[in-house]
């Protein structure tokens, strides 16, 4: 399959255009000629020097990353930008990025994957950002306790030994859960105002403590990287269905 054809298919599936005026990431094909043939694709959370080098070692033709390398443009190809671009171009490795589109997609996204892990039902979009959503909300068939939900997240997600931090201010039983992965704590107040029992995100801010306490809601900080592997893994499954060979490059940050 040609790189441009694959990129167009991903653009359509992830509704890239709907996020164009909202996301700082330049989503879509960021590096590489559209006419090159792609047989093997590597997927990863972060496009960094180490993950690019691992994709080269895996003989990938294309690297798909949740966090790409272009965030509103590249002014100069020096320093970090050069170190990341050079191995891509020297080895003919293309790069495709999907940031917020891969957070909010209701079947392939990070929040959707985490909701599936928790076996949530009656799921619906959550986390409005303009005309799109970046998360998901659902109901647990059987109520979780704080310890049970913490242990499930800690056991299933890769944290680099950091574990899951919880702000315990909500009800004894947790049924209604909202999720915005990564740096999603800004939607904590929306979650509380929508009456959920717990809000799950990747990392916190100082204000989260008092907001959680004042609204009587649990907040689970499950790790930025740890909550954002679901989307690229879901894409990996689709790519294999399309006849492509794939490799998942796993480099947890512990953050």
Phi-psi region of 130 (alpha: psi -120 to 50; beta: other; left: phi over 0): left
Residue 224 counted as an annotated binding residue: yes
CA–CA distance, 77 with 153 (Å, rounded to integer): 39
Residue 66 counted as an annotated binding residue: yes
Residue 218 counted as an annotated binding residue: no
Residue 190 counted as an annotated binding residue: no
Residue 210 counted as an annotated binding residue: no
Known binding residues for a divalent metal cation: 66-67, 103, 224, 228
Known binding residues: 66-67, 103, 224, 228
């Amino acid at each position: 399959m040609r790189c441009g054809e694959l990129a167009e298919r991903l653009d359509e599936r992830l509704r890239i255009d709907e996020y164009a005026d909202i996301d700082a990431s330049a989503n879509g094909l960021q590096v590489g000629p559209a006419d090159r043939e792609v047989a093997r694709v590597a997927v990863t959370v972060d496009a960094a020097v180490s993950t690019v080098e691992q994709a080269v070692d895996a003989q990938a033709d294309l690297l798909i990353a949740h966090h790409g390398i272009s965030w509103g443009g590249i002014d100069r190809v020096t320093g970090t930008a050069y170190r990341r671009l050079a191995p891509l171009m020297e080895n003919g490795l293309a790069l495709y990025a999907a940031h917020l589109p891969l957070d909010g997609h209701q079947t392939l996204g990070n929040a959707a994957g985490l909701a599936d892990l928790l076996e949530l039902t009656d799921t619906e979009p959550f986390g409005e950002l303009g005309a799109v959503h970046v998360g998901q909300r659902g109901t647990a068939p059987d109520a979780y306790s704080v310890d049970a939900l913490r242990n499930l997240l800690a056991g299933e997600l890769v944290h680099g030994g950091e574990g899951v931090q919880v702000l315990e201010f909500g009800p004894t039983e947790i049924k209604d859960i909202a999720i915005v992965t990564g740096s999603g704590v800004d939607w904590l107040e929306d979650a509380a105002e929508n009456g959920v029992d717990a809000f799950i995100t990747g990392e916190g801010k100082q204000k989260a403590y008092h907001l959680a306490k004042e609204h009587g809601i649990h907040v689970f900080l499950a790790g930025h990287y740890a909550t954002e592997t679901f989307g690229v893994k879901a894409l990996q499954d689709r790519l294999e269905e399309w006849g492509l060979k794939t490799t998942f490059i796993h480099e947890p940050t512990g953050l």
